[in-house]
Amino acid sequence: MKSIPNKKMLVLGGGFAGVEAAIKLRKYGYDVTLISNRNYLFIYPISIWIPTKKKSFEDVQIPLSELQKKHNFKVIIDEITKIDYQNNQVILEHSTKSYDYLFLAMGMHKVKTPGLKYTHSICGKPDESVVIQKELEKLIERGHGKIAIGFGGNPKDPTATGVRGGPAFELLFNFSHSLNKKVYAINSN
């Protein structure tokens, strides 16, 4: 792939896909601006350690400003309100940016099902990991309770041939290990 000189590339999304796209596109010589609604890249694979306090919320993020400096792309922290494809513009809450090329990496959208508002997902918004931590702390404080961890495939995805439950299993293991350590510590005293 050859770069096209002086072409503006907007990358929407500050997750793994957006950051990786910004890095690669800069290597090809594009004028790259990454737009995200948060100022950090959240490292989802290690977020499973937040609920049991093996990692803090801050441990599981890389500031986009550090990635910007290292890889020489621009970063704008703002909310996207509209994409105007006809005029090659992205309207943000505080400004409007024009582009020659647009790369969308804004993440998955969860299937909305009844009762979902009563759940928390380690794969959801980054702050969900902290909510799960607080809910676990409340359960420990009470001294009893139930934890339900579920997972499943996307019924609307005809190519999904298997159930993907890795993060759920990992979170379950971390809960079990952490709670067993607490019980052992209590019984040892």
- CATH 3.50.50.60 residue ranges in the chain? 8-104
Quickly state the pLDDT bin for 5 (edges 50, 70, 90).
Answer: low
* CA proximity to 130, closest of 13, 18, 42: 42
pLDDT for 159 beyond 60: yes
Of 19-28, 67-76, 180-189, the one with minimum mean pLDDT is 180-189
**pLDDT score of 165:** 75
Fold of the CATH domain 8-104: FAD/NAD(P)-binding domain (3.50.50)
| Mean per-residue pLDDT, 90-118 | 85
What is the per-residue DSSP string for the chain?
Answer: ----TT-EEEEE--SHHHHHHHHHHHHTT-EEEEEESSSEEE-GGGGGGTTTTSS-TGGGEEEHHHHHHHHT-EEEE--EEEEEGGGTEEEESS-EEE-SEEEE---------TTGGG---TTSSTTHHHHHHHHHHHHHHHT-----------TT-TT--S---HHHHHHHHHHHHHHHHHHHHHHH-
Inter-helix orientation angle 166-188/128-142, to 10°: 30
58-87 pLDDT per residue, tens: 999 999 999 999 999 999 999 999 999 999
Q: In angstroms, rounded to a whole number, what is the distance separating the alpha carbons of residues 171 and 149?
A: 8
Confidence of residue 43 (pLDDT cuts 50, 70, 90): very high
pTM, full prediction: 0.83
% the chain with pLDDT above 70 = 88
Q: What is the pLDDT of residue 125?
A: 87
How many angstroms separate the CA atoms of 44 and 39, rounded? 15
**pLDDT for residue 6 is more than 70:** yes
pLDDT value, residue 105: 93
